[in-house]
Structure formats: structure tokens, C-alpha cells
């Protein structure tokens, strides 16, 4: 795929619930337009594969789906109710597996919030903790997170079970292999209250 081209996805099956639709949409990319006149429908319980060569615009298209590129023509609509306290865009997660974006040091730094822990000493269970995944301000004094923590624990338990990473929880993040780090990224994303997950 290339940003200069337009794309036509399928129409939803009869009775199928839509998640996100684009209708003759074009997105602003600097001074140019990307993905001109793109029409696409993402239906519930569908899995899509967007394919193309290096530099062809696949990651950029996912940015457009996430709503990080402004729509300047046509329309893009979200057909789901985001979780409480989240915007539609925040209910869509993009996990990138490029080597440069899988740097362990960066993964740990991104998960910290004024922590005094040493980067290399962080365990996987700490990396996947509610406060780190949900970016909770450690200085906030409130009980508003209590019910969210219960739901978070259920999502995390389901993700770690399906991805078979429970044996990694006591390991140091820095010690994980490339494939184990990929699973960790997916588990982290699935621990959030998402409506759409994109694997780049």
C-alpha cells in the first residue's frame, strides 16, 4: 500500500456491527494528503491484514486509523462507546514490533512515572502493573481506581494466560528475548480496556 493511493475495504455483512468506518476519507500529512478517497469498514470480530513493502505506508495507515492524522476530506466514524474516561482514540492501541521500537531500555522508561527503581532491575510483573500500564500519577490521592483495578487484573490474567507468559512474571525485563518482549507488549496492550488492537 502507498499513502498516495486510495483503499477500498469491504462493506459490513448484513447485521454485522461496525467498529470504525472511513468514507472517501483523506488525511493530512504535513503539506500533503495521504490515503485520498479511502473507504473502509472495520466490523466487529474481524481481523484484517494490511500488507506492503517497507516504506509503503502501512504504519502510517494505522496512525490514520488511530485518529492521529487529521481527516480533511470525507469522514471517519467510530461506532463504539469508549471505556469511561477514555477517548475513542485512546481505546485503540497500536503495538509496534520494529527492532528499534522494541528497545528494552525505552520500554522500561516509557512504563515509569517518577520511579526510583533501576531500569535493569524491573521485573515483568512490575512492568505490567496497573499503575504503570494505566500511567497513574503516584501523587494522586483518590479511590477512583479501585473498581478499574479489578477489571484490569482480569484482563491481565487473561492476557498472560493466553500468551503463556506467566512463567516470565518474576524475570527481569532486560533479560527477555525478542519474542518474549513482543508477547509482553501485546499483554500490556490487552490489559487496557481496548476496542481495537493493531499489531504493526
Which has the higher per-residue pLDDT, 129 or 120? 129
The pLDDT tens digits for 10-25 are: 555 666 789 999 999 9
CB distance 196 to 189 below 8 Å? no
Judged against a pLDDT cut of 70, whether residue 6 lies above it is answered with no
Backbone angles phi, psi at 143, to 5 degrees: -105, 10
- CB proximity list for 135: less than 8 A, separation 6 or greater: 113
Q: Per 3-state DSSP, what percentage of the chain is helix, strand, and coil (rounded to 5)?
A: 35, 20, 45
The span from the CA of 158 to the CA of 136, in Å, is 22
- When pLDDT is cut at 50, 70 and 90, the band that residue 97 belongs to is confident
So what's the pLDDT on residue 101? 47
Q: Does position 56 have pLDDT exceeding 80, yes or no?
A: yes
First to last CA, the chain: 14
DSSP 99-167: GGG--HHHHHHHT-SS--S-GGG-BHHHHTSHHHHTT--TT---STTHHHHHHHHHHHHHHHHHTT-GG
Which residue in the block uniquely carries the three cell numbers 493530512? 28
- Which tens digits make up the pLDDT trace of 31-55? 999 999 999 998 888 899 988 888 8
- Read off the pLDDT of each residue in 114-142 and give the average, rounded to a whole number: 75
- Would you kindly state where each structural domain of the chain is located, as residue ranges? 18-78, 98-194
Task: Return the number of other C-beta atoms located less than 10 Å from residue 136's C-beta.
Answer: 17
Containing 132, the helix (H) or strand (E) segment is helix 130-133
CB atoms within 10 A of CB 41: 20
Q: What's residue 84's pLDDT?
A: 84
Amino acid at each position: 500500500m502507498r499513502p498516495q493511493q486510495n483503499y477500498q475495504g469491504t462493506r459490513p455483512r448484513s447485521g454485522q456491527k461496525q467498529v470504525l468506518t472511513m468514507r472517501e476519507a483523506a488525511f493530512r500529512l504535513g503539506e500533503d494528503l495521504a490515503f485520498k478517497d479511502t473507504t473502509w469498514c472495520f466490523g466487529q470480530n474481524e481481523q484484517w491484514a494490511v500488507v506492503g513493502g517497507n516504506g509503503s505506508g502501512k504504519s502510517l495507515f494505522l496512525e490514520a486509523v488511530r485518529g492521529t492524522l487529521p481527516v480533511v476530506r470525507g469522514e471517519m466514524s467510530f461506532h463504539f462507546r469508549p471505556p469511561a474516561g477514555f477517548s475513542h482514540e485512546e481505546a485503540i492501541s497500536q503495538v509496534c514490533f520494529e527492532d528499534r521500537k522494541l528497545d528494552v531500555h525505552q520500554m522500561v522508561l516509557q512504563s515509569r512515572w517518577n520511579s526510583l527503581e533501576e531500569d535493569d532491575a524491573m521485573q515483568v510483573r512490575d512492568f505490567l502493573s496497573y499503575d504503570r500500564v494505566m500511567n497513574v500519577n503516584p501523587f494522586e490521592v483518590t479511590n477512583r481506581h479501585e473498581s478499574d483495578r479489578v477489571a484490569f487484573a482480569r484482563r491481565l490474567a487473561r492476557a498472560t494466560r493466553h500468551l503463556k507468559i506467566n512463567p516470565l512474571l518474576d524475570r527481569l525485563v532486560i533479560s527477555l528475548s525478542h519474542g518474549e518482549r513482543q508477547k509482553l507488549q501485546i499483554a500490556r496492550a490487552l490489559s487496557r480496556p481496548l476496542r481495537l488492537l493493531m499489531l504493526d
